[in-house]
Structure 1
Amino acid sequence: MPSNILLITADDMGGDTPGCFGGPAEVTPALDRLAAEGMTFGRAHVAIAVCQPSRSAIMTGRWPHRNGAQGFEPIADGVPVLTRLLREAGYMSGILGKVEHLQPVEAFGWDFTRGMRELGMGRDPRAYGEAARRFMTEAAEHGRPWFLMANAHDPHRPYSGSRDELERFPAEERATYPAPSKVFGPADDVGAVPGFLPELPEVAREYREYLSSSRRCDDVAAEVLRALEESGTAGDTLVVFLSDNGIAVPFAKANCYLQSSRTPLIVRWPGVTRPGTREDTAFVSMLDLFPTFCAAAGLAEPAGLDGQGMLPLLRGEPQDGRDAVFTVFHETAAKGRYEMRSRQDARFGYIWNEWSDGARAYRAENMFGRTWPAMLADPRLAPRTRFYLHRAPEELYDLHADPHSLTDLSGDPGHREDLAAARRDLLAWMTETGDPLLGTYRAFLTERAPG
C-alpha cells in the first residue's frame, strides 16, 4: 500500500535551531517529539539557500539550473513535478501556505490550497490544523492516498514582536494570528547567538525575536501533526520536516556557507525508520526527497532526477555517495545576481564566488533588521563586514577547527592541496550537471594555475 506523505516546511529556520539539533530548550517541543519518534539528519542541506528556488528544487528533484527556477521565477516548461507524478498514481495533493512560491501554480496541479491570508498571514497554527484536517477528510472521502505540503511562514521576517512586524503588518493583519505559545525575552536563557554572528546586544535581541517566531513555527507543526493523528492515518504516513534555508541574517540565508544550506531534516516513516535514530555521517541533499517520495508511493523514478533516494539510510543501512554535498546560489528575491558554488565534506567547505571582483557589493534580504546595522556600527567588526560585502573569489574553511566559517584559508599555503582537491571536485560536479558557468570556472582555474 502506498504511503501518504506529509511534508512540513519552515521558512528561514537555521539547521541548529530545533532542540533536537542542539538548539535552545523550549523552542521546538513538537519537532523534538517528532525527532524522538523518527530519524534526524545532521548533514542535510538544501540545494540553494533561498525560498522559491529551494522549494522548486525539492519539488522537481533537479538543480535550479536544470529546472529553470534559479531565482524567484517559474520552473521551465516540461519539467516533471512531484505532485503531477503522484496525481497520475491516484494521489490527492494539497498545499498550505507559500502557494505562490511554486510557479507556475497550475503546473503543480494542486487539489487543495490555502494561501497565506487564509492562514493568518501564514502564522496561525489553528488555521493550519483546521485546513490539514479538512484536506485529510476529503482525501478519505475519496478513498485516495495523499500528499500534503504544509508550509509555515515562520520564522521568516518580520519576527514576532519586532519593529518590522509593526511596520509591515497592519493591525488588522496582526489580529489574524496569535503570539507564539512561548515568547523569548531577556530573562530567558537561550544561550549565545549562533557562532557565525557577533555577540552584540541588538543581535541577541533579534535572535530572541527569531526564536519566538521559530516557536510559532513549531506550534504550526504541532497542529498539523495533531490533525494527522486525529485522521487515523499516522501509521500509513511518511512525515518529513525541513527548513527551506538558514536564518535571514548575514552569512546565512542567500549564501553558500554551512549555516546557509544546512536544514534540520526529520523523517518519521512507520515501519522504515526506527524511533530516536540519528544519521550524522552521511550528507544528504533535499534533491534526494523526490526519489524517496517516489519509493514511498511505489512509483518508478522519472528520468533526469539529480537526487539519490534515501531508503537505505532511513533503514539504518550504509549508502555510497554520501561523503560530500554541493550547493549553489544564483540570485536574491530582488533579482541581485550573485553566482556562488560550494562543495562541503566532513572537513572542508569550499565556495567559489563568481561575482566577487573586489568592487561589487553584495546586498540581500538577510541584511534587513537589527543584526547587520549593529555589525556595521561596531568598528571592531569592520574587516568582517567589509568581507561580507565584497567576499573573495574563493573561500576555504576547515570546518573541524572553524565550524562557523570565520577564517578563510583559501590563500594559506598550508592548505594548497586541500584547495586543489575541492576545485577538482567542484569542476567535476559542474561538468556532470551541465552548470552554465562551467566555462567561466574553467577559465578561472586556468588563470590561477601555476606558471
Structure 2
Amino acid sequence: MFELKTILLIAVVYLLRCEAKSGNVLLIIGDDDGFASQVYNNTAIKTPHFNKLSERSLTIKHAYTSVSSCSPSRSAILTGLPQHQNGQYGLHHSFHHFQSFDKVQSLPLMLKSSGIRTGIIGKKHIGPDTVYKFDHEWTEEEYSLLQVGRNITNMKNLVHKFITMDSGPFFLYVAFNDPHRCTGSKYGEFCEKFGNGSPEFGVIEDWKPTYYSLDDVYVPPYLPDTPATRADISAQYTTLSRLDQGIGLLLKELELTGHLNDTLVIYSADNGIPFPNAKTNLYEPGMGEPMLISSPYHTSRWGEVSDSFTSTTDIVPTILNWFGVDFPKYKIFSRNVQLSGKSMLPLLNAEPKSGWNSVYSSHDLHEVTMYYPMRVIRNQQYRLIHNLNNGAPYPIALDIMVSPTFNDTLHRTSENKTTNWFKTLHQYYYRDEWELFDVSKDPLEVKNLAKDVNYQNILNEMKKDLAKWQEATDDPWRCVPGGVLYQGTCLPLYNNRD
C-alpha cells in the first residue's frame, strides 16, 4: 500500500511539472522595439532573421508590457512583479536613481539557488546589484553600451564565450540597445550610423546595413505623417536591421554550440517605440509588444499565432516553469509576495479557451520629473485607463522631446500649421481621469466612453477588476487620488475624485 501511494505521489508531481523540460533559456529583449517587422505584418521593412525565428515560434498577437518605461519594465521582466510592487518606479541611472526594494527576488537569484548558470549581455539599467546579480555580466556598468548592446559581432562573441565556459543548464539574458534613440549622438538619431563601415563610424563585421527611403517606410496611424516622421522611421528601420541580424547571430550561436534544440527562446521588448503616443503611454502603441516563444519541445505550434493576452510579467513564471523551479516564498514589507502572471508554456500545446483574455499595466514615472501615474486594464474589447494625476499636463520624455517627429509637431503647432496628427497637443497633454475605449471599434482610442451612460456597467466592472489587481499586487497608489492609504485602508479625502 505504501509503495502504491508513493507511485501515485510521484505521478502527481510529474503531472504538475509536465511542462518543465531540461534545457536552457535565452531571453532576448529589444530596446524600445515595436511591431516594425514582417512577422507583425509590416511589409515595408525586411526582417528575415526575425521571420526565421517566428517559423519556429508561437507568435503572440496580444502581448503587453507591464509598464511603458525602460527600467521599470526591465524590473518587471526579471521579477515577475509590476513596478509598483517591486519598487523600480522610474529610471535607474544618474540622478533618477530609482531601484527595486532590497528584499525583491529576481530571476538570476531564483535560478542560481537551483544551480542554473546565469548571464546578461547588453543593457541592464536596473538596481540594486544585490537584487539583479548575474553570475556573468557584460553590461553598461562595466563596458561601452554601444559595444555590448549594439555591436552584434561583439555580442555574438560574448554569447559564445558564455555558453562554452561551462556545462549545465543556463539562463542567458541578451538585452539589445537597438532600436533605442541616441539623442545627441554623432552616430545618428538611432545610432544607425554606428558600425556602418564608413571611416568615421567604424565597422561591425557581421552587419550589413539596410537603408530605406522616406517613401519606403510605413507610418503608423497614431503618428503624424510628415517628412520629419518618415526620416525618423527610416533611421529606426536601419537600426532594426542591425537588431534583426543580431537575432540571427544569436540563433546561429545556439546551433553552433549544440543548444538550438534544447533552449527555450523568448523575444520581447521593454516598452513602446520612442515616438509620441507610444513610449511612456499606456495606450495601445505604448503597451503593445512583440512576443515570440520558441520551444524545441513544442513544435506543433511553430509558425502559429496566438490570440491570448499575455504580459511581460508572464516571462518569470514561464522560465521558472521551464526549469521546474518554484517561485520562492518571501515578503516585501511583511506581506507575502505572489506572482500575478502565469506560465505561457501551456500556450505552446494548444490555444486556451479561457483564462487569457485580459492584462494589467501600471506606470508612475519615467524620468524623476515625470510623475504621471496610470493604472490600466485591457481586455478583448476595451481598455480602461485611470490617470491618477490628470490635473497636470502629461510629461514628455527627453528622447521624445528632442526627437525630429515631436519637434516638428511642436513647431507646426506654434506656427498654427497643420500637424497631420490625429490629436492636438492640448488633447495629448490633458487627459480625463478615466479613459474607456472600445478598441475593437476605435483602434486609435479617440472616443472616451467613460462618461457615456450606455457604458457605465462596463466601466464599473472594469474598475472593480482593476482595484482587485491593485490590492493583490499591494499597489501603494491604490487609494489615489481620492484617498490616502493607511494600514491597508483607504482614508477618504472628499475631493470628488475616485
Q: TM-score, normalised by structure 1?
A: 0.90
- Return the offset for 1:334: 4.1
Q: Is the 8 A contact 2:145 2:177 kept in 1?
A: no
Secondary structure of the residue that 2:471 maps to in structure 1? helix
Match of 1:279 among 277, 297, 306: 306
Match of 1:41 among 45, 60, 75: 60
- Return the offset for 1:188: 5.7
Structure 1, unaligned runs of 5 or more:
none
- Return the offset for 1:242: 0.5
Q: How does 1:6-405 map to 2 (within 5 A)?
A: 6-14=26-34, 16-72=35-91, 73-99=98-124, 101-116=125-140, 117=144, 120=147, 122-139=149-166, 143-158=167-182, 163-164=188-189, 174-175=201-202, 177=204, 181-186=208-213, 189-191=216-218, 193-273=219-299, 274-280=301-307, 282-303=308-329, 304-318=338-352, 320-357=354-391, 359-365=392-398, 366-378=400-412, 379-381=417-419, 384-405=424-445
Q: Which one-letter code corresponds to 2:302 in the other structure?
A: P
* Residue aligning to 1:428: 468
Q: Which is higher, the Rg of structure 1 or of structure 2?
A: 2
Distance 1:92 1:361, change over 3 A: closer
Q: Is the 8 A contact 1:46 1:327 kept in 2?
A: yes
- Return the offset for 1:323: 1.4
Q: Is the 8 A contact 1:154 1:213 kept in 2?
A: yes
- Return the offset for 1:438: 1.5
Q: Which one-letter code corresponds to 1:132 in the other structure?
A: V
Q: Is the 8 A contact 1:48 1:327 kept in 2?
A: yes
Could you tell me how far apart the structure 2 residues matched to 1:157 and 1:96 are?
Answer: 19
Secondary structure of the residue that 1:59 maps to in structure 2? helix
- Return the offset for 1:423: 2.1
- Return the offset for 1:150: 0.7
Q: Deviations over 1:246-297 (max 9, x none)?
A: 10111101111111121100010111253112102x2111111111111111
Distance 1:278 1:445, change over 3 A: farther
Distance 1:398 1:317, change over 3 A: closer
Q: Which one-letter code corresponds to 1:385 in the other structure?
A: L
Q: Deviations over 1:190-243 (max 9, x none)?
A: 33x111112111111111111211221112211111111111111110000001
Instruction: State, as a whole percentage, how many aligned pairs show the same letter.
Output: 30
* Residue aligning to 2:488: none
Q: Is the 8 A contact 2:138 2:148 kept in 1?
A: no
Distance 1:219 1:32, change over 3 A: same
Could you tell me how far apart the structure 1 residues matched to 2:445 and 2:204 are?
Answer: 37
- Return the offset for 1:53: 0.9
Q: Is the 8 A contact 1:180 1:212 kept in 2?
A: no
Could you tell me how far apart the structure 1 residues matched to 2:240 and 2:217 are?
Answer: 13
Deviates more, 1:336-345 or 1:20-29: 20-29
Q: Which one-letter code corresponds to 1:2 in the other structure?
A: S
Distance 1:404 1:179, change over 3 A: farther
Could you tell me how far apart the structure 1 residues matched to 2:390 and 2:327 are?
Answer: 38
- The structure where helix makes up a greater share of residues is 1
Could you tell me how far apart the structure 2 residues matched to 1:406 and 1:162 are?
Answer: 37
Secondary structure of the residue that 2:174 maps to in structure 1? strand
- Return the offset for 1:401: 1.6
Q: Which one-letter code corresponds to 1:4 in the other structure?
A: N
Distance 1:128 1:312, change over 3 A: same
- Return the offset for 1:332: 1.2
- Return the offset for 1:163: 4.7
Structure 2, unaligned runs of 5 or more:
1-20, 92-97, 330-337, 484-491
Q: Which one-letter code corresponds to 2:24 in the other structure?
A: N
